[in-house]
Amino acid sequence: MPASTHPANDAWEALLSAHAVLMKRFAAEDIWGDVSMREYDVLYTLSKCAGPVRLSELNRHVLLSQPALSRLVDRLAERGIVERKPDPADGRGVLLSLTATGRALQRQVGREHARDVARAMTAGLTPVELRQLEAICLKLARQPAAAAAANGNDDAASGHDKKDAA
């Protein structure tokens, strides 16, 4: 079979295929309980924040449209998992953070999910390949931020193309 003349597109398709296969595998795991994978993504992202964040900041780190994220956060707040507080720096703004219940839920699901991720990743990759994959992905993740800084574009800085993420 001849070598491809589109290595960048081939690499992108391989990355998307691997992502799809792994996400289906993770979704099939019996660990999610009362939280969906999308809800867990929000819980995980909030758990990594140094403090409460605005919805716009949270939106930079999850693959949901702003309206979908807003509705999801509303549901999590109604369930007592996420807390909404007025932003003292801007009375119109709202800050989001995990409640104690939300933090406990994130840790519980996160432990199981981390084990599943480790099993999936180590099943076909050596430790050296895992480090190479991490380095490549981190390099790609920084690339849109560098381009955005040069162009003054906040959407590109988030690493997400809103058209593709919706």
Q: 112-158 pLDDT, tens per residue?
A: 999 999 999 999 999 999 999 999 999 998 886 556 566 655 444 44
Indicate the pLDDT class of residue 6, thresholds 50, 70 and 90: very high
Q: Alpha-carbon Rg of the chain, whole angstroms?
A: 18
DSSP assignments along the chain, one per residue: -PPPS-HHHHHHHHHHHHHHHHHHHHHHSTT-TTS-HHHHHHHHHHHHSSS-EEHHHHHTTSSS-HHHHHHHHHHHHHTTSEEEEEETTEEEEEEEEE-HHHHHHHHHHHHHHHHHHHHHHHHH--HHHHHHHHHHHHHHHHHHHHHHHHHT-HHHHTT--HHHH-
Instruction: Give the residue-averaged pLDDT of 1-19.
Output: 89
Give me 15's structure tokens. Answer: 């990355």
Indicate the pLDDT class of residue 36, thresholds 50, 70 and 90: very high
Give me 127's structure tokens. Answer: 């430790």
Q: Residue 46 is which amino acid?
A: L
Give me 46's structure tokens. Answer: 């909030």
Indicate the pLDDT class of residue 162, thresholds 50, 70 and 90: very low
Q: Which residue has the higher pLDDT, 166 or 74?
A: 74
Whether the full predicted model's pTM is greater than 0.95, yes or no, is no
| Torsion angles phi and psi, residue 49, rounded to 5 | -80, 145
